[in-house]
Homo-oligomer: A and B are copies of this chain.
Amino acid sequence: MRLYDHPASGNCLKPRILLRQLGLAFEPVTLDLFRRETRTPEHMGRNPDGRVPVLELDGGETIPESGAILLFLAEDTPFLPDDRLARAVVHQWMFFEQNQIEAQLAVARFLVLTGRGEAHPELLEALLARGRGSLASLARGLADERPFIAGDDYTVADIALYAYVHCAGEAGADPHEHAPIPGWLERVEATPGFVNDLAPFPEHARA
Contact = CB atoms under 8 A, between A and B. Distances in A.
A148 to B, nearest CB: 15
B102 A99 contact: yes
A134 to B, nearest CB: 7
User: Binding site of A, secondary structure by majority: helix, strand, loop or mixed?
Assistant: helix
**Max chain B CB contacts within 10 Å: which of A123, A134, A143?**
A123
Interface string A88-107: 11011011101110110000
A103 B99 contact: yes
A63 interface: yes
A101 to B, nearest CB: 10
A65 B85 contact: no
Contacts of A120: 122, 126
Given A99-B102, A123-B126, A72 B88 contact: yes
Chain A: interface residue count, which band?
Answer: 35 or more
B98 A84 contact: no
Nearest to A125: B123
Nearest to A106: B99
Interface of A: 44, 48-50, 57, 61, 63-69, 71-72, 75, 84-85, 87-89, 91-92, 94-96, 98-100, 102-103, 120, 122-123, 126, 134, 137-138, 140-141, 143
